[in-house]
A and B are shown apart, each in its own frame.
Chain A
């Protein structure tokens, strides 16, 4: 099967001499939900800019469903939908026209383009706003407008550059559901985000880039497996005066009624509960502390940077 996206030795040096990409290799399979992660300035948007031909590459190859950007640009472009990081619509234009016109640019007849615009604006909860000029939308609505616009020509590969930045929790969850649905229906999705729980929740495969290089490229499960330790937060029924010393467990007292426990991978949680019960410590509830991916991410980026200057 041809990959949805294949990138070989991609480099980019901007006109001011800044080397934003230093040789990126990436492969995204058809049907995948792929996370492209990395700290600010890592080169995510630059990579996406090149894929969507908004930025000129310096060297390397990019192919979309086997269509090389240098040789079959038109074929490559028609498979792609882009939700960019920055708002890039005419703020004076009404919402429905922004979406329908985008269809027009892809050669979709006006009538069909308006039908599709209606479909996606309804699915994304923007239909009531269809006649408003885009500047009257809230930040979260503008993000959803860009998703509707990116879908109007039914792309096989959808690239979203921080689509949930500034979106409230409720809408974010509905956006997740929406993206999961279109992914299940066959659209390959590449997503960048700084909310790592989002990547963990949605994506099956992941690449982390830092300073213009891919420093990790693997399956989400495999990556999370690298974690040796998981931290759980325990809410207690009664206040604890002091930290209980239980051999074989690493515990920390957060406050009177909260404990944190580090549990190594492979260890059963039952033992911890048994030990706690034996000491008459009752646990009301337990949850996973922070995001696991977040920890790994910090670790990988730090490690990479400490590895020093590489050729």
Chain B
């Protein structure tokens, strides 16, 4: 296969993925928009008005970046894990496995599909947030690069989950028991400076904290942690997970007997 043909194969997967989640938008795009709108109403407007400022910004404005990030993370992950597991379950992954396209093209295709859904939902949630807050932009390049990289990272994580999954239960265990707690403890709703010193240290183990803070920096210009550290951690995870995913694909883990 030449480069042009590989690109056609890649585009085919991406289009197929976009079509897949758009066809079922009531299950894929709408729910996160509704949930986040509820967060805005309850935490931002009702409770937020009692809280006052956080790190010198209105509480409503403080939580918006984190809530966008939460939607992006869960949807990038969910798209890849359910699509990949689904194609294993229905065996249509074989359509790709018999074809001459290299494994890295398959991987990039699924990841881009996850990023597409993450971005679609992220954009929808951002639009909703404009109804509740006046979003300012401190540094656009930071916003875009952090949200894209984070989306890639969790799309990769979802891919690995999909490879190991042997049942539909397996694709909800990690999101429920690992991802959700990490997101909630990742500084979406609070600044870690509010925590006792010990818990601040513990929080720093959570990679999502770095992403949420870097993203918030892009909007508000404030962050609990160093921006460079955030990038380093995100890029490190992306590289590691990409290498691991490709290794699993090459081995045929979960897809070849």
Contacts and interface: CB of A to CB of B under 8 A. Distances in A.
Of A77, A88, A89, A109, most B-chain CB atoms within 10 Å: A88
B8 A89 contact: no
A212 to B, nearest CB: 15
A108 interface: yes
A91 interface: yes
B226 interface: no
B11 A107 contact: no
A88 B101 contact: no
A157 interface: no
Interface residues of chain A: helix, strand, loop or mixed (majority): loop
Interface of B: 1-2, 4-6, 8-9, 11-13, 16, 19-20, 23, 86-87, 90-92, 94-102, 252, 256-257
Of A53, A54, A73, most B-chain CB atoms within 10 Å: A54
Contact of B4 (A77, A86, A107): A107
A78 interface: yes
Interface string A103-144: 011111110000000000000000000000000000000000
A102 B257 CA distance: 22
Interface string A73-113: 11101101010101111111100011001101111111000
B257 A56 contact: yes
Given A55-B256, A56-B252, A74-B1, A104 B100 contact: no
A74 B90 contact: no
Given A55-B256, A91-B90, A101-B16, A77 B98 contact: yes
Contacts of B11: 104, 110
A105 B9 CA distance: 4
Of A73, A92, A98, most B-chain CB atoms within 10 Å: A92
Contact of B87 (A53, A90, A109): A90
A32 B12 CA distance: 33
B9 to A, nearest CB: 5
A241 interface: no
A309 interface: no
Contacts, number: 90
Nearest to A88: B91
Contact of A14 (B87, B252, B257): B257
B94 to A, nearest CB: 5
A49 B101 CA distance: 18
25 contacts: A14-B257, A15-B257, A53-B256, A54-B97, A73-B100, A74-B1, A82-B98, A88-B90, A88-B91, A90-B90, A91-B90, A97-B19, A102-B99, A104-B8, A104-B13, A105-B95, A106-B5, A106-B99, A106-B100, A107-B4, A107-B6, A107-B9, A109-B8, A110-B8, A110-B11
Interface residues of A, number: 36
Given A14-B257, A15-B257, A77 B8 contact: no
A55 B91 contact: no
Given A92-B20, A101-B95, 17 more contacts: A52-B98, A53-B256, A54-B256, A56-B252, A74-B1, A86-B91, A87-B91, A88-B95, A98-B95, A101-B16, A104-B11, A106-B9, A106-B99, A106-B101, A107-B8, A108-B8, A110-B8
B254 to A, nearest CB: 12
A56 B8 contact: no
A255 to B, nearest CB: 49
A89 B92 contact: yes
Given A74-B1, A89-B92, A107 B101 contact: yes
A89 B256 contact: no
B97 A78 contact: no
Nearest to B16: A101
A93 B86 CA distance: 12
Contacts of B94: 54, 84, 88
B92 A90 contact: yes
Nearest to B83: A90
A75 B100 CA distance: 7
B95 A102 contact: yes
B44 to A, nearest CB: 37
